[in-house]
Amino acid sequence: MNLPNLLGALTAALLSATAGSAPVGASLPDHFFPESIAAAPDGTLYVGSATESRIVRVRPGAAASEPFIPAGAGGLMSVQGLLVDAKAGLLWACTGNLGVSRTPVKPTALLAFTLSSGAPRGRWVLPGGGYCNDLAQDTAGRLYVTDTPNPRVLRFDPKTSRFEQWARHPLLGGAPHNANGVALSRDGRALYLVTFADGRLLRVPILEDGRSGVPEVLALPRPLVGADALRTVGDSSFLVFENGLPSGGGRVTRITVEGARATLETVVESSAEPTSGIVIDGRILYVESQFARLFGAHKGQAPEPFRIATAPLRPERLSLPPGFAYPNGITHAEDGTLFVGSVSSGRILRRAPGGDWTVLFPGSEEVFAVTSLRLDAPRGLLWGTSPDVMGLLRPDGTLGKRAPRLFAVDARTGEVRRIVPIPEGGMGNDLTVAPDGGLYVTDSNRGSVLYLSPGGERLETYVADARLQAKGPGMAAVGPAGIALAPDGRTLAVNTYGPGRLFLVRAGAEGAPPTVSEVELPRRMENPDGMRFAPDGRLLVLEGAANSGDGRVVRIDVLGTASGPRSIEVLASGMESPVNLTVTADGRVWVTEARLRERLLHGASAKVPDAFWVTALSGRQ
């Protein structure tokens, strides 16, 4: 396969269902450029190289790989999909010529090796040529193999040592060098396949007699980018490893199939082209190929050390102490210390990295609720908003009698330093701190953004716009909620909770008022709340989802120059009333799940949940 065709032939490996101790962060050889990974039931990992034409082994608990199958053994070229067949005691491998291996070029083939020793057991060339890319195994031991340049799926029966063309259909091709990752549904009734060149997800029914049905393309919210390995992780959920080529980067994405459609959630982002992975004990172990440095946008750059990367399959939860209810405001210090405030009591907790929660501020008559927290680090102040917001959760949806206010406590001692009243008739909801110490505050009642100048005593109206107002019963009448300051220090993002709209507020020229423009979206957001800009400049938004209950973290490129509606990318779903978030410099996202939905639906009679937590989403790996 010649160099121009390399990107089309990039490949994946197969997930093996495993149990046992998983090596985390194990190092791989220099210049290895890993492409695929598989696991044995005892947790032993096998990793194949695109350039060195060999397979290494990582024993459970080991910090580094060890040689296993030498270069060229059995006709190895670039190692493609790997699969452990523990029952048969075999390691299966696809191999082909990517133009970067150092062994003699031979026809692409399916290979088998003895799992215990690595000794070659067989080599089977694909009928009619093609390219052996990835493979999956059914309960009968048969292998389903994707053939990248051809619109077909082959099936190999180890009992007869023969291939058959199991499925052939134009939808399985569609572009040169397309078919890539493959996985079977847990019930064995369908085969799923992703395409590299055009980023599609296909489903091929498996009929009662084992033959293939008619393939169908499932609707996705966006094309996959460099779709590589595909792994089954649930009854209707999969992981796809998007290597992001040719530009590079990439991500690990959860796919959830819902009939003829599927949703996408970014589990972790990568800067080094993830191509394959497995799941052990609730964690994803994956290889970052660094292929962009091999034949992508960064070709010729020296690679970083290779290792097995790891990330949680599901967002991690950090439990809050018993008695601390309805977390809302959250922020962090540069050293990773977290601060979390309660909307029902005004208590503020503090937690140093790896430490326990301690009470920074117990709540008081002055500070009785915390709906937002932001750290003004240069001045050592922890700013927050304190409206009598639990009143909004009463059946009549009215505020309590205590006047809403801003407050500032000493971030070190918890001593109250400032109390600033919200103008009469307003309700301060969320805030953001400017570099000079000025504050911007959303007023959910009056459809405006307020401003407190550095050292100021009174809030002033920064901008008011009819489009920021909200009307309707109950929570539908809540207007501006989340607010975030863009990296330029002059542009604000503001959402409206009830209407589900998103706006940019840009500072005017000297003496000119700010301008408000609505961000065009493909849909109205469902009760958007807290927001923050990520280090890459994209906006992270929480959807509280009071009606559906499906709380989400989404990402929107609001500052980009592309025309038309901005796509809404789901990073996490199924959250329980996510209300606020903070984002660290490495992209790690901490989210408070207030678990308020029952209170919203049924008022004060709703039972208080027995546990609360902060959810962590992995940052860039």
Q: What is the pLDDT of residues 123-142, one digit of tens each?
A: 999 999 899 999 999 999 99
Same domain for 299 and 403, yes or no, is no
pLDDT value, residue 375: 98
What span, in angstroms and rounded, lies between the C-alpha atoms of 333 and 582?
A: 10
Report the number of distinct structural domains present in the chain.
Answer: 2
How high is the pLDDT of residue 396? Answer: 44
Q: How far is the C-alpha of 10 from the C-alpha of 245, rounded, in Å?
A: 9
* CA distances in angstroms from 429 to 60, 464, 519, listed in the order given: 50, 15, 21
Using CA atoms, how far apart are residues 366 and 418, in angstroms rounded to an integer? 10
Q: Answer yes or no: do 445 and 341 share one domain.
A: yes
Same structural domain, 261 and 351: no
Q: Which of 314, 346, 381 is the last residue of a domain?
A: 314
Q: Give the pair of three-digit tokens for residue 84.
A: 């452990």
Strands (E), 169-224: 179-184, 190-195, 201-205, 216-218
Check if the beta carbon of residue 71 is closer than 8 Å to that of residue 29.
no
The SS3 call for residue 169 is coil
d(CA 204, CA 97): 28
DSSP 36-72: EEEE-TTS-EEEEESSS--EEEE-TT-SB-EEEE-TT
Looking at residue 509, its pLDDT comes to: 86
424 and 275 within one domain: no
Range of the domain at 226: 3-314
Q: Which residues of the chain have pLDDT under 50?
A: 1-24, 392-397, 620-621
Is residue 274 domain-shared with residue 365, that is, in the same domain?
Answer: no
Token pair of 122, please? 């067989």
Tokens 């809404």 belong to 568
Geometric angle at alpha carbon 90, from 88 and 94, rounded to 5°: 130
The structure's pTM equals 0.75
- Using an 8 Å Cβ cutoff, are 533 and 539 in contact? yes
Does 246 sit behind a cis peptide bond, omega within 30 degrees of 0 on the bond before it?
Answer: yes
Taking alpha carbons only, the member of 608, 583, 604, 573 closest to residue 594 is 608
330 and 272 inside one domain: no
Please say which residue of 279, 314, 349 terminates a domain: 314
First vs last Cα of the chain: how many Å apart?
Answer: 32
Q: For residues 346 and 240, what is the distance between their CA atoms, to the nearest angstrom?
A: 42
Residue 40 corresponds to which tokens in the numbers above? 């044995």
* Residue 145 C-beta-side C-alpha neighbours within 13 Å: 35
Predicted local confidence at residue 401, as pLDDT? 75
> Is 301 in the same domain as 426?
no
Sheet arrangement for strand 152-157: 132-137, 143-147, 152-157, 162-168
Q: Which of 518, 569, 581, 516 is nearest to 544 (CA)?
A: 581
Collapsing DSSP states into helix, strand and coil, what is residue 379? helix
Q: Which of 280, 314, 348 is the last residue of a domain?
A: 314
Residues 6 or more apart whose CB falls under 8 angstroms from that of 160 comprise: none
pLDDT in tens, 420-449: 999 999 999 999 999 999 999 999 999 999
Same structural domain for residues 243 and 310?
yes
**Alpha-carbon torsion (421, 426, 431, 435), positive or negative:** negative
One domain, residues 302 and 361: no
What is the predicted pLDDT for the residue at 8?
A: 31
Which tokens hold the place of 290?
Answer: 């660094």
- Beta bridge partners, 242, equal 227, 251
CATH code of residue 419: 2.120.10.30
| pLDDT (0 to 100) of residue 391 | 56
Q: Are residues 358 and 369 in the same domain?
A: yes
- Residue 222: how many CA atoms within 13 Å on its side-chain side? 16
Q: Are residues 216 and 237 in the same domain?
A: yes
Do residues 285 and 345 share a domain?
Answer: no
Antiparallel, parallel or unpaired: β 491-496 and 480-485: antiparallel
Question: Around Cβ 466, how many Cβ atoms within 10 Å?
Answer: 7
